[in-house]
Each structure stands twice: as C-alpha cells, then as structure tokens.
A and B are shown apart, each in its own frame.
Chain A
C-alpha cells in the first residue's frame, strides 16, 4: 500500500496532491533557508496567521457576487493581500514604536487570527445549511482537490522556487552581513521585502494542502535540519529544498494510504523526522558526533595524564585512566608499566619538558598557547626548531 502510494499508484487525486505537496515542500524549504539564515524564522508565523481575514473576506466577496466561495485563485489573492497588511504592520510597529519584533509578530498573528475567526463565524451563519466553507484552510484539506487547484499549487511553488533562485546571491549577502551588503549597493529593505513576499507566496500556495497554522513548519523545520549537515549556505538552501520536497512527497503519499491520516500534519511530522535524524546523526554538528568527539577527547586526556603519572612513578587510581592504559597495552593487569608503556611515558614526559622549555625560549614562546596538554610538540614545531629546543634542554637536564 505504502509502496503503491510512493510510486503514485493510488489514483488520480492522490497523485495530484503528491505533485502539489512536493513542489510546495521544495519551494518552502528553499525560501525557509534564506529566512532562517536571516534569523527571522518566526516572522513566517505572523505572515501565515495573517492570511485568515483576507481568506474570509475573499470568500464573503465571492458569495456576495453570487459565485462559489471556494474559488482557490481568488481566496489565494485575498489571503495574500491580508498577510501583506500583517507584514507591513509588523515592520511598522518595529519602526514607529519601541516594541521588539517578537512582540509585533505575536500581536499581528493573534489579532489577525482572532479577527479571521470572527469572520469565519459570520460565514458559518451565512452558509448555515450549506456546505461549510473555510475550516479546511486552518489545517489543510486535500480531499476532493481539483486538478486546477493542484496545478495552481505546483505552478505557484515552481514560481517561488525560480524567484528564490534568481535572488539567491543578494539574499545570502543580507543574511550574513547586512552592512557589507549595503556598502555593495544592495537595498537591504527592498530585499527584506522580497524575502517576505516569497514567504507570503509560500504560505498562500500552501494554504490548501498544509493549512495556515502548520505551513510555518515547512518554512522552519527543513532549513534547521539542513543546517546540521553543512557549513555552506548554498548547500543549506539546496538541502533544505530537498528535505522540504521529500517531506511533502512522502507525507502526501503516506496520508493517501488511510482515511484518518490528514495530509498537513503528516507532512509536518515527516519534516520533523528528518530534523530529528539530522540532529542526532549529522556528522560534526550532530549530537552523536559531538558525543563521540567528547569521548575521544576524554580518552586522550586520561591516557596522557596516565602516562605522565607512570613517568613520574606515581600510582594510577582513576578507573578510566587505568582502563585506557591497559587497553593500549601500556600497563599490565597489576598496574606495572610494560616496555611500550615505559617508552610512551618517557615520550610524554619529554614532550611536557619541551613545552616547558618553549615557554622560556624567547623566539618560540608565542607558540605557547598551542599547548592544550594534548597536542604533541612535533605537530607544532619544525625539526630545526625542535633541535634548537632540545639543545637548550639538554644542559639543564644534565644539571
């Protein structure tokens, strides 16, 4: 069943939804990456909640004109207009008052959403007895999606993606160094506005499938997940788009396999699964990698301290240190150093002495900060420098 779904064998409607969701996911992931790098991920929450009044007003206008209230293009236009107003209010509050951006975001999202709910109850009373109108847009609903709707969503996603591709360089510049971008002649405010317009476009495109409460997840989660895998911003954007598309595709397919698997939440949970996997398993930035690194460091420290203790003829009591020394064949089970252990201990002691001497040598002492107790001095100095150091060392040791 799942295989059928993943290979788009579950019928016409499911295929339409999967195509739309994939395109939406890719676009949302790519735009979200730039939003995340600009450190304004939560603005999208205000944008998405602010669509509701426009959505409801568009519906009311359509009904007043005698048409079907659920004409998707008009609804998308209405929601785009009202999220524009919301966005403008967020930035206006930032400029005109001393409120911080997060307060402005929260105010706009709650007030617009509240007003939208008021309008929804108006619609409910108007259409009492008729088929309900707009609740599906809160959490997305893909049941009975029309071919035209799916194509509109896919085309909208593709358009957003293309615009993001064109704007990728300036968007990266304002994300990393606003001042530098400005000196380079970029209009930071206009670019911010464009980024927000892209965010708004993703939101509007995603209303039907994912719904306005959860669409922010597609803008936020994929880039956060992608960031774990790479330090390169362009790669973050590419990976984020890939993760978003994967979530959209797998989520839509999975939700087609059973009636009580709502598409929007499943897509979001897919994205979260990718995030969780990245958090744990990503190389270098992942938790597992960090834990392994920590363990390796711990072992090296214990080994080194153990060797120094051996060299000074001191007994080793610490359990982990004892084990490390034994595992490396440096001491026997009774704690007496082996031949290899004695050699390694002597090497550690010499290394320590060389570092000591390096601090006194006026030509080399600036390298002293490289001494972290683990780095061997051979890794820092050239052979000549080492010989010079040893030459200084020998007479003193002879004393």
Chain B
C-alpha cells in the first residue's frame, strides 16, 4: 500500500464510495415507496441530456453536462406523469415508454453528431470511467496533507463528496416528514404534510445523485446502488434508521470490494489486465443482496 496505491487507486475508490452512498441513501426511500425503477429510468434518460448539452455548448465540461442530464431527468419525470395521467397508462408501462424512447433518441443524436474529437459515447454513459480518475499529483500518503497535491485531485472527487453531503444533509433535515410520508402517506397527509411535494422531493434528490454520479461512475453503478444496498439492508432490519446504516455499509463494501476485485483480482488470477470496475461494483452489490436474501434475519415479512 504505497505511493502507487495513492496515485492510482485511492481517488477512484473514494469517488466510488461517495457515488455509491449518494445513490443508496435516496434509494432507501425509493425502495420503501416501491419506486425503485425510477432510478433505472433516470439513468437511461441521462444520455440524451448530455448529448443535447454537448450540442448546445460544444464542450464536455462538467457543469453543462450535469445541467443537461438534470434537465432530461426532469423532462422524463414530467412526461411519465403526463402519460400516466392523460393517457391513463399504468405507471410501469408509462415509464418504459418514456425512458426507452428518450434513450433511443439519445443514441440517434449521438450517431448524428460529430463527437470524434471528444470523449462522449454510449459506453461512457453506461459504465463511466472510474479507473481513469487517478490522482497524478500524489506522491504518497503524505500528499493528503499537501495543499498543492490536493489541488490536483480529480474534480469528480470533490463533486461526488459534495453530492453525498448535500443528499445526507437534506435527508437529515427532512428526516421526520420523509419517514412519515414513506411509511404512512395517509397519516402524513392528515398531519398536513405536503406528501406530493415530499414524493417529488425524493425523486429530485435521487435524480441529483444519479446525475452527479453517472459522469464519474456510469449508469450501471447508479442503478445498482439505488436498489441493491437498500434492498439488502431492508432484509436486515425493521427500523428505518438501522436500514439506512446497513445500506451505507453495504454501499461502501460494494464500492471498495468491487474496485479492488476489478483492479487486482485478475492479477491475482494471473491475468494481465483489469476488468470493468463499474461492472464489478454492481456485481459485488448483487452478491451482498443475494447473501442477505439467503441469510438475513428479516428476509421475510
């Protein structure tokens, strides 16, 4: 665990951890409200968002990309709601119509656009580039205290940490209404809580986490982290506080184990190249969920 680790692996692991936790936190509420697949839908529509943002601004800077992705997420949520209401279409099907069509539109736009000079493609949106987020300025563990080296941290690291902080603070601030509206919407409404607004707030929080995370880690991790850690945590306990704690732990475990297995696992097996970290993190989260489904104390109702 020397200088090389700090340069090559520390930042991707940290970014993976923050991304995983930022997605798993709102994922808990989505899970309990049976809206888990919204994360799936949001992460599909991110693609047309970033392509449009690129077409408009001509750059792949983080801010316009994220604005585009957020805009697309908002459009998709509104479209799903409109189709559900005006067309009287069941919500799962409405979701399926919107996110597949928007994703198809994104792919088409991408093919029509000359993106040869920039790094923007479908694969990037799907599995991100976690491995490439290295910290070139680091020379060893000491760099963590060196302001000059810290300035050279990949910007994704700070962005993901900030996103997690925002999501965590929001959850902490609105803890009671969130909990009430999630478990007993009728009671919450009777207390005068704006339950529709809370529901929208949860979706917006999820979209925020998804949009911030996809750029660094790709859609796969986003979808997996929305669902797997909270689902596994749900099988561990009946208390929401404990469930959130477990989900954070599982998210961390998936991110760290996944990255290490992807980066070093193949080398241990004698191969020369590593495999996709994003894919491996999702796989590890699935294994954790599988174990929870087999052995967790509260796996049945």
Contacts and interface: CB of A to CB of B under 8 A. Distances in A.
Interface in A103-125: 103, 105-107, 109-118, 120-122, 125
A135 B126 CA distance: 12
Size category of the binding interface on chain B: 35 or more
A60 to B, nearest CB: 13
Contact of A121 (B96, B100, B107, B275): B275
Nearest to B89: A224
A106 B101 CA distance: 19
A300 interface: no
30 contacts: A41-B90, A42-B95, A42-B96, A97-B300, A99-B235, A102-B92, A103-B231, A105-B37, A109-B40, A110-B223, A110-B227, A114-B221, A115-B282, A115-B286, A117-B220, A117-B276, A118-B283, A122-B266, A135-B123, A138-B122, A214-B103, A217-B96, A217-B104, A221-B96, A224-B89, A262-B111, A268-B104, A269-B108, A275-B97, A285-B88
Given A41-B92, A114-B286, A217-B96, 5 more contacts: A107-B289, A110-B40, A110-B282, A269-B101, A285-B87
A260 B111 contact: yes
B272 interface: yes
A213 interface: yes
A116 to B, nearest CB: 7
A246 to B, nearest CB: 16
A285 B83 CA distance: 12
A359 B24 CA distance: 60
B26 to A, nearest CB: 14
Contacts of B123: 135, 138
B28 to A, nearest CB: 11
Nearest to A44: B96
A100 interface: yes
B280 interface: yes
Contacts of B278: 114, 117
A41 B283 contact: no
B299 interface: yes
Interface string B114-129: 0000000011001100
Interface in B123-168: 123, 126-127
A272 B101 contact: yes
Given A107-B289, A275-B97, A122 B275 contact: yes
Main secondary structure of the interface of A (DSSP, over half): helix
B33 to A, nearest CB: 10
Given A217-B101, A260-B111, A36 B93 contact: yes
Interface in A255-288: 260-262, 264-266, 268-269, 271-272, 275, 279, 285, 287
A397 B224 CA distance: 75
B299 A98 contact: yes
Contacts of B299: 96-98
B103 A114 contact: no
B286 A98 contact: no
Interface string B219-263: 011011011100100110000000000000000000000000010
Nearest to A210: B104
* CB-CB nearest 8 A-B residue pairs: A114-B282, A111-B286, A117-B279, A217-B100, A220-B96, A268-B104, A110-B224, A265-B104
Interface in A279-302: 279, 285, 287, 290
A150 interface: no
Given A213-B103, A216-B100, A220-B93, A111 B36 contact: no
A312 interface: no
Interface in B15-35: 31, 34-35
B64 interface: no
Contacts of B235: 97-99
Given A39-B90, A117-B126, A111 B97 contact: no
Contacts of A275: 97, 101
A219 B48 CA distance: 21
B47 to A, nearest CB: 10
B57 interface: no
B56 interface: no
Nearest to B94: A224
Contact of B279 (A106, A118, A138, A261): A118
A124 B232 CA distance: 32
A107 B227 contact: yes
A110 B262 contact: no
